[in-house]
């Protein structure tokens, strides 16, 4: 079979979806794909463009797995613009004259930002809002003007639709004052009705953005310096501005198709049939450039659907476009807005059921059939939590009293929803309820991660995840698969439940805990968990009471067991700052005991190969010199990594080392569901890689940004912004609460990243709890952390002073000084390492464990 | 591995005083050159198994965590977390791993008893 060549013109989200879906489904390699992208980067998440202003980098916006672009059947040309299509010869000409021939051409050129012809629109300081380069230029301009003017920058956004409000939020994030100028009589007039518009306006104004509706901009005038200076309105008003952003809609980029003689729609766009094919059977058009069923659609969901349809057709399927789902749920300036189905009640006889609460800024409307049973659509402003449940119900009967869905929680009981199999759940990836049930029942996906990986549901915007989880749990329940949170056979409770039970009952020993809340003797799963909870709650020595037997050997002997049964030793080096005396001491100890030394990823030094009975001697020397346990063995704070910061670095804006040391000393010894790693960077260059940590603190010129929930390891995740530009004391308070709340509510061995993701309401809800104190837990969490800090003692120092505990550190109860005779080492690069089985068998030259001297 | 010689004997060896043992915390002992792990459980029972962990090849069983599976008292390896019965040494949870080449998956169980204040071990014969 010969490989046919597909050329995709355009490098946006829909082009990405097309390429990804084709490579995923064309398992026989029938097609090769060449993508001609105008922007200098691989396709990125344009929907999340605004997050660029809240600290995300262009790389964070990357779509999907970058390995797609290394697929041998995929070629991506960046910075490359198609200038002509010759349909007779099936050739695309690229800027510079290169010709690319195709068997099939896919137009995915998208849209451009359109601005009404306005005098002065070409002045410096007038921007569009479409690409990463647009927003980067806008950011550069605002920052430069702020520095030049020495006062907050005055910004105006022309256009009060979805994109306009995004842009206003972006200006606010940049510290500019912003005004939204809207030509229509209300904000987001395409999505919400008058009542919703009013609620939205009040909420947005509450955020400090000024809103002017029913206002036409006649002219943009230059200021004295020749830059943009003011806006002149049709009603004669004038407003001073330093920056203007046009967000007045988009138009399809159909010029390539038009020049190639393809039919265009009445309002532009390349006309395609329901399978995304143009009149030329060798040319498809998908996404915003396609005029399908008479309209160009400017949302990502129908664009992705078109990409899937085109792929399906190329692979021999017969799909057709189901009609656009123009439903949308957005968070603009922190305000929830959702609109779905027949939001404007255009269906004959449609009834509107409205709940409005101007005090709390909530507006909700359901559109129902004339018998008030079948849901047709709706608008939710201020609280869109019902969106995920309601949107898939469009066209179906709502069980119970429909008012329950819009009245405040609990005032009327909601009916139980059972979605039909064909109801769409994830509109970004076009996943139905049936597909999710199939994943659970036929593909053995028994947790959210597996369902996501199998169906792609919830992998784009994530707004449907609560619903996906609910459908999954219902199916598992039906199948008799218990969704068990039980820790192990000895405890039916989850870690979080057990934590609360122990706290309320104030029990302090494992025997009491298992007697009251469990059965049997415990095991290697529940014992360390209870040990960790007791340590978190009571701050007593990890080996105190009956606790030594609860701990894993690492915690029990306060060192990390290695593969041959010896241990590694890691003294704490707070913030990675170390005295020369301590470096020398560590080197001296390594020489004296013949230990293998390696620098760790957490900016400290690991000494390998120490035997159980050697640990107290080693630690005595470290403790005497003022060093202490680094807790490298514990489910607890490991390190706070830092860059060198403003004290030495030319670019640093804050003392990152000082902050890192303060944090490390504050949280050292804190027991938690899993290990904790922190990082502090002294400027936005982020040399400490803090966003790969559970908590990352990054200096700004106004204070610190705190990011949470980052993770390296098996599933790397970037930490997300929790608070911005805060002073030192707020950094401590907010991290105190975040960590304590995590310790109280996470599952066993659940790191912060999945905890945060699976927490109901995600990071936003966690922010409400730890920053805004919505549960009134703040003082308690603060007090708990204060107790931890006050009662901290170095575990190793305490053990060295306790002859009873020291007895544990013997090799054999009847030969306390005798080393384990089975240990054997071979030299490697001037140090020693454990001998392999082959080396032992072959009789290679082994170094006996008693031989400390390995230097030749 | 040559750590476990075949010269098992039926001689009882005193290894320590009962008071040297902490409930639920294992200790290692050398008995006629063989490493064993001894456990005093909370119910007062004594158990002794080989100290060699068959899944890692390291002599570490005395440093594992005691527990139970159903009614069977157990010990978990501190290295790859396999769980063994303290009664017959059978491996109850393999963690989807194979023992090191040449090693049986279970633990050898040795006789252990308290004689007065003394803890006495008798190595099992082949």
Is the pTM higher than 0.95? The answer reads no
With an 8 Å Cβ cutoff, is A818 touching chain B?
Answer: yes
With an 8 Å Cβ cutoff, is B78 touching chain A?
Answer: yes
Partner-chain contact B56 A563, CB within 8 Å: yes
Partner-chain contact B23 A521, CB within 8 Å: no
Partners of B20 on chain A (C-beta within 8 Å) are 807, 813
The 10s digit of each residue's pLDDT in A487-511 is 888 998 888 889 888 988 888 889 8
C-alpha span between A656 and A653 (Å, rounded): 9
Q: Is A642 exposed, middle or buried (0-12, 13-18, 19+ CB in 10 A)?
A: buried
CB-nearest to B67 from A522, A553, A812 is: A522
Count the neighbouring beta carbons within 10 Å of the beta carbon of residue A555.
Answer: 24
The 10s digit of each residue's pLDDT in A341-398 is 888 888 888 888 888 887 778 889 999 988 888 889 999 888 887 887 788 788 888 8
With an 8 Å Cβ cutoff, is A540 touching chain B?
Answer: no
- Number of A to B CB contacts under 8 A, please give it: 112
Question: If you average pLDDT over residues A821-835, what whole number do you get?
Answer: 91
Q: Is A210 exposed, middle or buried (0-12, 13-18, 19+ CB in 10 A)?
A: middle
Partner-chain contact A521 B42, CB within 8 Å: yes
A625: closest CA of chain B, how far (Å): 29
A30: closest CA of chain B, how far (Å): 39
CB-nearest to A813 from B16, B63, B101 is: B16
Strands (DSSP E) found in A360-461: 362-368, 375-381, 424-426, 431-432
Write A193-198 long-range contacts (CB < 8 A, 24+).
A193/A343, A193/A344, A193/A365, A193/A379, A195/A354, A195/A356, A195/A363, A195/A365, A196/A337, A196/A339, A196/A363, A196/A365, A196/A379, A196/A381, A198/A363
The 10s digit of each residue's pLDDT in A627-642 is 999 999 989 999 999 9
Instruction: At A744, list the tokens.
Output: 């109280």
A814: closest CA of chain B, how far (Å): 5
Q: Which helix (H) or strand (E) holds A195?
A: helix A194-206
CB A692 within 8 A of CB A681: no
Q: What percent of chain B has pLDDT over 90?
A: 78
Question: If you average pLDDT over residues A212-236, what whole number do you get?
Answer: 90
In terms of DSSP H, where are the helices of A625-751? 656-667, 728-745
Partner-chain contact A523 B15, CB within 8 Å: no
Sign of the alpha-carbon torsion through A375, A376, A379, A384: positive
The ipTM (two decimal places) reads 0.90
The 10s digit of each residue's pLDDT in A726-764 is 999 999 999 999 999 999 998 888 899 888 887 877 888
Partner-chain contact B38 A813, CB within 8 Å: yes
**pLDDT surpassing 80 at residue A682:** yes
Q: Which of A530, A811, A814, A846 to mutate to test the interface with B (most CBs of B within 10 A)?
A: A814
Strands (DSSP E) found in A56-209: 74-77, 82-86, 91-94, 99-101, 104-107, 111-113, 126-127, 154-158, 177-181
Partners of B42 on chain A (C-beta within 8 Å) are 511, 521
Partners of B55 on chain A (C-beta within 8 Å) are none
pLDDT for position A856: 35
Count the neighbouring beta carbons within 10 Å of the beta carbon of residue A783.
Answer: 12
Chain B residue at shortest CA distance from A522: B67
- DSSP string for A459-515: SSS-TTHHHHHHHHHHHHHHTT-------BTTB-S-HHHHHHHHHHHT--SHHHHHH
With an 8 Å Cβ cutoff, is A801 touching chain B?
Answer: no
CB A755 within 8 A of CB A676: no
The 10s digit of each residue's pLDDT in A350-361 is 888 888 887 778
**pLDDT surpassing 80 at residue A330:** no
Instruction: For residue A855, give every residue at least 6 positions away whose Cβ sits within 8 Å of its Cβ, in sequence order, or none.
Output: A591, A830
CB-nearest to A552 from B25, B67, B78 is: B78
Instruction: At A116, list the tokens.
Output: 């009404």
What is the residue-averaged pLDDT of chain A? 88
Local confidence band at A463 (pLDDT 50, 70, 90 cut-offs): low
Partner-chain contact B67 A564, CB within 8 Å: no
C-alpha span between A830 and A849 (Å, rounded): 16
B111: closest CA of chain A, how far (Å): 17
With an 8 Å Cβ cutoff, is B35 touching chain A?
Answer: yes
Partner-chain contact B65 A812, CB within 8 Å: no
Partners of B81 on chain A (C-beta within 8 Å) are 524
Partners of A557 on chain B (C-beta within 8 Å) are 63
The three-class DSSP label of residue A847 is strand
Question: If you average pLDDT over residues A295-305, what whole number do you get?
Answer: 86
Q: Which of B51, B65, B79 to mutate to test the interface with A (most CBs of A within 10 A)?
A: B65
Lowest mean pLDDT among A40-54, A86-100, A102-116, A503-517: A40-54
pLDDT for position A91: 95
Instruction: For residue A56, give every residue at least 6 positions away whose Cβ sits within 8 Å of its Cβ, in sequence order, or none.
Output: A48
Strands (DSSP E) found in chain B: 12-17, 27-31, 34-40, 46-50, 65-69, 72-76, 83-85, 91-93, 109-115, 118-122
Chain A residue at shortest CA distance from B21: A813
Chain A residue at shortest CA distance from B28: A812
Partner-chain contact A813 B29, CB within 8 Å: yes
Partner-chain contact A561 B60, CB within 8 Å: yes
Partners of B33 on chain A (C-beta within 8 Å) are 821
pLDDT for position A398: 80
In terms of DSSP H, where are the helices of A792-850? 795-800, 803-806, 837-842
Lowest mean pLDDT among A35-44, A353-362, A716-725: A353-362
Instruction: For residue A241, give every residue at least 6 positions away whose Cβ sits within 8 Å of its Cβ, in sequence order, or none.
Output: A125, A154, A155, A156, A179, A228, A229, A230, A231
With an 8 Å Cβ cutoff, is B29 touching chain A?
Answer: yes
Partner-chain contact B29 A557, CB within 8 Å: no
pLDDT for position B8: 44
Measured at the CA of A356, the angle between CA A354 and CA A360, to 5 degrees, comes to 155
Among residues 560-589 of chain A, which lie with CB inside 8 Å of chain B? 561, 563-565
Most confident of A277-281, A436-440, A472-476, A518-522: A277-281
Partner-chain contact B58 A821, CB within 8 Å: no
pLDDT for position A460: 66
With an 8 Å Cβ cutoff, is B4 touching chain A?
Answer: no
With an 8 Å Cβ cutoff, is A509 touching chain B?
Answer: no
With an 8 Å Cβ cutoff, is B68 touching chain A?
Answer: yes
The 10s digit of each residue's pLDDT in A101-159 is 999 999 999 999 888 889 999 999 999 988 888 888 998 999 889 888 888 899 999 99
pLDDT for position A834: 93
With an 8 Å Cβ cutoff, is A816 touching chain B?
Answer: no
pLDDT for position A851: 43
From A31, A24, A49, select the one nearest A131 (Cα to Cα): A49
Partners of A489 on chain B (C-beta within 8 Å) are 69-70
Partners of A514 on chain B (C-beta within 8 Å) are none
With an 8 Å Cβ cutoff, is B63 touching chain A?
Answer: yes
What is the edge-to-edge ordering of all strands in the sheet holding B27-31? B12-17, B118-122, B109-115, B46-50, B34-40, B27-31
Partner-chain contact B16 A814, CB within 8 Å: yes
With an 8 Å Cβ cutoff, is A815 touching chain B?
Answer: yes
Q: What does residue A285 show for φ and ψ, rounded to 5 degrees?
A: -135, 135
């Amino acid at each position: 079979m010969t490989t046919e060549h597909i050329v995709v013109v355009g490098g946006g989200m829909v082009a990405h979806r097309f390429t990804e879906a084709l490579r995923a489904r064309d398992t026989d390699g029938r097609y090769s794909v060449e993508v001609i992208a105008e922007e200098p980067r691989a396709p990125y998440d344009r929907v999340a463009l605004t997050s660029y202003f809240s600290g995300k980098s262009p790389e964070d916006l990357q779509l999907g797995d970058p390995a797609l672009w290394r697929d041998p059947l995929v070629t991506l040309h960046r910075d490359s613009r198609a200038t002509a299509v010759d349909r007779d010869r099936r050739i695309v000409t690229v800027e510079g004259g290169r010709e690319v021939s195709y068997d099939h051409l896919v137009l995915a050129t998208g849209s451009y930002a359109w601005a009404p012809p306005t005098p002065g629109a070409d002045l410096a300081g007038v921007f569009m809002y479409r690409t990463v380069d647009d927003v980067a230029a806008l950011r550069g301009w605002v920052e430069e003007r702020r520095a030049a003017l020495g006062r907050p920058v005055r910004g105006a956004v022309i256009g009060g639709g979805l994109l306009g409000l995004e842009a206003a939020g972006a200006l606010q994030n940049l510290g500019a004052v912003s005004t939204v100028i809207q030509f229509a009589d209300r904000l987001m007039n395409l999505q919400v009705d008058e009542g919703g518009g009013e609620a939205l306006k009040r909420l947005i104004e509450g955020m400090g953005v000024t809103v002017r509706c029913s206002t036409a901009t006649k002219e943009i005038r230059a200021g004295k310096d020749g830059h943009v200076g003011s806006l002149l309105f049709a009603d004669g008003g004038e407003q001073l501005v330093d920056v203007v952003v046009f967000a007045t809609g988009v138009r399809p980029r159909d010029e390539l198709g038009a020049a190639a003689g393809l039919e265009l729609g009445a309002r532009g766009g390349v006309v395609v049939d329901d399978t995304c094919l143009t009149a030329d059977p060798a040319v498809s058009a998908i996404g915003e450039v396609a005029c399908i069923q008479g309209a160009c659609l400017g949302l990502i969901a129908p664009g992705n659907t078109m990409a899937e349809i085109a792929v399906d057709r190329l692979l021999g399927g017969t799909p057709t476009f189901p009609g656009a789902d123009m439903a949308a749920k957005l968070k603009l300036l922190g305000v929830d807005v959702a609109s779905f189905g027949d939001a404007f009640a255009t269906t004959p006889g449609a009834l509107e059921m409205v709940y409005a609460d101007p005090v709390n800024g909530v507006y909700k409307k359901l559109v129902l059939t004339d018998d008030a049973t079948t849901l047709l659509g709706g608008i939710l402003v201020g609280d869109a939590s019902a969106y995920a449940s309601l949107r898939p119900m469009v066209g179906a009967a709502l069980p119970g009293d429909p008012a329950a869905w819009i009245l405040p929680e609990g005032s009327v009981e909601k009916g139980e929803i059972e979605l039909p199999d064909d109801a769409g759940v994830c509109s970004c990836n076009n996943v139905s309820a049936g597909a999710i049930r199939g994943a659970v029942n036929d593909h053995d996906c028994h947790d959210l991660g597996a369902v996501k990986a199998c169906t792609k549901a919830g992998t784009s915007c994530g707004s449907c995840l609560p619903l996906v989880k609910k459908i999954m749990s219902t199916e598992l329940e039906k199948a008799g698969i218990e969704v068990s949170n039980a820790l192990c056979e000895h405890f039916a409770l989850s870690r979080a439940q057990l934590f609360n039970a122990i706290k309320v009952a104030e029990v302090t020993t494992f025997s009491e805990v298992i007697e009251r809340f469990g059965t049997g003797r415990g095991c290697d799963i529940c014992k360390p968990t209870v040990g960790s909870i007791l340590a978190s709650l009571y701050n007593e020595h990890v080996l105190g009471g009956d606790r030594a037997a609860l701990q894993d050997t690492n915690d029990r002997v306060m060192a990390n067991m290695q593969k041959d049964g010896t241990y590694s030793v890691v003294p704490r080096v707070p913030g990675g700052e170390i005295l020369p005396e301590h470096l020398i001491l560590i080197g001296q100890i390594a020489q004296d005991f013949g230990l293998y030394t390696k620098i760790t990823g957490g900016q400290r030094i690991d000494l390998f190969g120490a035997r159980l009975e050697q640990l107290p001697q080693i630690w005595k020397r470290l403790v005497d010199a003022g060093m202490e346990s680094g807790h490298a063995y514990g489910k607890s704070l490991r390190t706070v990594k830092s860059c060198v910061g403003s004290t030495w670095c030319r670019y640093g804006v804050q003392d990152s080392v000082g902050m890192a040391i303060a944090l490390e000393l504050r949280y050292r010894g804190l027991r938690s569901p899993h290990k904790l790693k922190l990082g502090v960077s002294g400027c936005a260059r982020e040399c400490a890689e803090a966003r790969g940590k559970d908590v990352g603190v990054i200096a700004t010129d106004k204070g610190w940004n705190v990011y949470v929930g980052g993770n390296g390891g098996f599933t790397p995740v970037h930490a997300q912004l929790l608070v911005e530009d805060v002073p030192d004391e707020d950094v401590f308070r907010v991290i105190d609460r975040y960590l304590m709340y995590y310790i109280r509510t996470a599952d066993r061995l659940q790191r912060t990243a999945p905890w945060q993701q699976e927490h109901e309401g995600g990071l936003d809800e966690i922010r409400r709890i730890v920053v805004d104190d919505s549960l009134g837990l703040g003082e308690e969490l603060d007090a708990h952390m204060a107790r931890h800090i006050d009662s901290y003692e170095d575990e190793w120092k305490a053990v060295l002073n306790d002859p009873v505990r020291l007895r544990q550190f013997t090799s054999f109860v009847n030969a306390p000084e005798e080393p384990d005779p089975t240990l054997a080492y071979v030299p490697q690069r001037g140090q020693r390492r454990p001998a392999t089985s082959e080396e032992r068998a072959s009789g290679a030259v082994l170094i006996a464990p008693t031989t400390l001297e390995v230097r030749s | 591995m040559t750590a476990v010689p075949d010269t098992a004997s039926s001689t009882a060896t005193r290894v320590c005083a009962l008071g040297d043992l902490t409930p639920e915390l294992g200790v290692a002992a050398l008995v006629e050159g063989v490493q064993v792990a001894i456990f005093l459980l909370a119910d007062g029972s004594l158990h002794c198994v080989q100290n060699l962990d068959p899944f890692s090849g390291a002599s570490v069983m005395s440093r594992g965590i005691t527990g139970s599976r159903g009614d069977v008292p157990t010990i978990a390896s501190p290295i790859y977390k396999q769980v063994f019965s303290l009664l017959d040494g059978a491996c109850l949870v393999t963690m989807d791993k194979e023992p090191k080449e040449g090693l049986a998956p279970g633990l050898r169980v040795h006789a252990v008893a308290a004689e007065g204040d003394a803890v006495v071990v008798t190595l099992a014969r082949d």
